[in-house]
């Protein structure tokens, strides 16, 4: 099977596959170790795809060289944090597009037929599903698939569970322990049931079950997250206590505790890979607030886990959040704050450094008014 390049009518050698939704290049030229970074940068910048035929390590080096060239044009901080964030997002999207034009051909069995290439079969099958013919993929995305697979195999340590969770490709990973600790330490309301909305790896559902809640129903919009959460539940021996379902946000019925850790930044995800981080217009946050009262048992509580990074970036105000809580007929009965311990907060080269350094993550306790 082949995909036709609309501009030149020359067929691509295989269907284009980009997990982050990058469009197929307008034109594709063969490339190998003789290609200089400056030429590659010019071609990729013009929209030409480079189909790598050379050495695998050479392709990685070229990718790094392209990154350095593109990063020389990174935007300077703007007058406001919101404008800096907007420019940063736009630059990252441009960077992803240009870097995404260095492509490799995945064979029908998910192997990469390049010198010194690693075995890509298990990682690609985990991310893309069983082999279904050849595909052209951006090298950068393939490296992401390989990295994610290593991470999945190794697992992320979660101190609150005294265990590791194994994030699947494209699933929000609990690398920041501070919000998990909030859920692990907050006094529980009376009752035996809980919902975990937007469960991701299932980490918070597992924490709640480990804390003694008898029945937890965990939901997620993403099929990858649901598969991952089921995997977590089985690995931790919690299958009799946790049910994973979706794609709807709320399961039917009511619970004594409803926990929700929505994506923390209002904004359009560039692809499903960003669904754990960006929430367009705060849709999930608002849906959680709007549906909470009718899904709580009497004396039940909602726990909203939210960082104030969006506030520091000028994307949402504290007043917006309080108004949304009030409009949903809820009141705040308590709030526990913690400071994230993530490395990027201390990286002055990160254009969002100031906002990250000031970030506070909170668990908001909510009840119907």
Ligand X SMILES: C[S@@+](CC[C@H](N)C(=O)[O-])C[C@H]1O[C@@H](n2cnc3c(N)ncnc32)[C@H](O)[C@@H]1O
State the residues that interact with ligand X by CB under 6 A: 172, 174, 198-201, 203-204, 219-222, 225, 249, 261-263, 275-276, 284
Separation of alpha carbons 202 and 367, rounded Å = 24
Answer for the pair 166, 152: CB distance below 8 angstroms, yes or no: yes
Residue 299 beta carbon to ligand X: minimum distance, rounded to whole angstroms: 24
Smaller CB separation from ligand X, 146 or 284: 284
Residue 59 beta carbon to ligand X: minimum distance, rounded to whole angstroms: 31
Helices assigned H by DSSP within 213-312: 223-235, 283-292, 309-312
Residue 136 beta carbon to ligand X: minimum distance, rounded to whole angstroms: 27
Smaller CB separation from ligand X, 25 or 200: 200
Residue 225 beta carbon to ligand X: minimum distance, rounded to whole angstroms: 4
For 125, the enclosing helix (H) or strand (E) is helix 121-128
Smaller CB separation from ligand X, 174 or 351: 174
Smaller CB separation from ligand X, 114 or 292: 292
Smaller CB separation from ligand X, 172 or 303: 172
Residue 29 beta carbon to ligand X: minimum distance, rounded to whole angstroms: 37
Cα dihedral 265→168→136→108 (10° resolution): -160
Answer for the pair 194, 216: CB distance below 8 angstroms, yes or no: yes
Residue 178 beta carbon to ligand X: minimum distance, rounded to whole angstroms: 11
Q: Go through 143-181 and write b for each residue having 16 or more CB atoms within 10 A of its CB, e for each that does not.
A: ebbbebbebbeebbebebbebebbbbbbbbbbeebbbbb
Before 247, cis peptide (omega within 30)?
Answer: yes
Smaller CB separation from ligand X, 144 or 174: 174
Handedness of CA 120, 125, 128, 134 (dihedral sign): positive
């Amino acid at each position: 099977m082949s995909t036709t390049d609309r501009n030149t009518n020359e067929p691509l050698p295989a269907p284009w596959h980009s997990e982050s939704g990058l469009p197929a290049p307008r034109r594709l030229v063969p490339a190998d170790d003789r290609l200089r970074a400056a030429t590659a940068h010019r071609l990729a910048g013009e929209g030409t795809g480079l189909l790598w035929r050379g050495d695998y390590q050479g392709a990685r080096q070229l990718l790094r060289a392209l990154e350095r060239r593109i990063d020389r044009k990174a935007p300077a901080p703007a007058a406001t944090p919101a404008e800096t964030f907007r420019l940063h997002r736009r630059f990252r999207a441009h960077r992803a597009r240009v870097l995404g034009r260095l492509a490799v051909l995945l064979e029908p069995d998910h192997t990469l037929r390049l010198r010194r290439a690693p075995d890509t079969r298990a990682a690609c099958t985990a991310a893309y599903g069983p082999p279904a013919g050849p595909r052209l993929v951006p090298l950068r995305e393939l490296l992401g698939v390989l990295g994610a697979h290593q991470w999945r195999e190794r697992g992320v340590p979660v101190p609150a569970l005294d265990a590791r969770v194994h994030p699947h490709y494209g699933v929000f990973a609990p690398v920041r322990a501070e919000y998990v600790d909030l859920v692990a330490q907050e006094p529980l309301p009376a009752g035996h049931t809980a919902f975990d909305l937007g469960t991701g790896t299932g980490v918070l559902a597992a924490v709640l079950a480990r804390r003694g809640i008898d029945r937890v129903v965990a939901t997620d919009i993403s099929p990858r997250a649901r598969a991952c959460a089921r995997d977590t539940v089985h690995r931790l021996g919690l299958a009799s206590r946790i049910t994973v379902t979706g794609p709807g946000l709320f399961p039917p019925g009511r619970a004594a505790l409803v926990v929700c850790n929505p994506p923390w930044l209002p904004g359009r995800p560039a692809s499903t890979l960003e669904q754990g981080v960006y929430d367009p217009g705060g849709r999930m946050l608002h849906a959680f607030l709007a549906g909470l009262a009718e899904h709580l048992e009497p004396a039940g509580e909602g726990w909203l886990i939210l960082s104030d990074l969006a506030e520091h970036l000028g994307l949402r105000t504290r007043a917006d959040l309080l108004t949304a809580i009030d409009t949903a007929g809820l009141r705040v009965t308590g709030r526990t704050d913690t400071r994230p311990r993530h490395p990027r907060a201390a990286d002055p080269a990160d254009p969002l450094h100031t906002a990250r350094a000031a970030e506070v993550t909170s668990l908001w306790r909510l009840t119907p008014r």
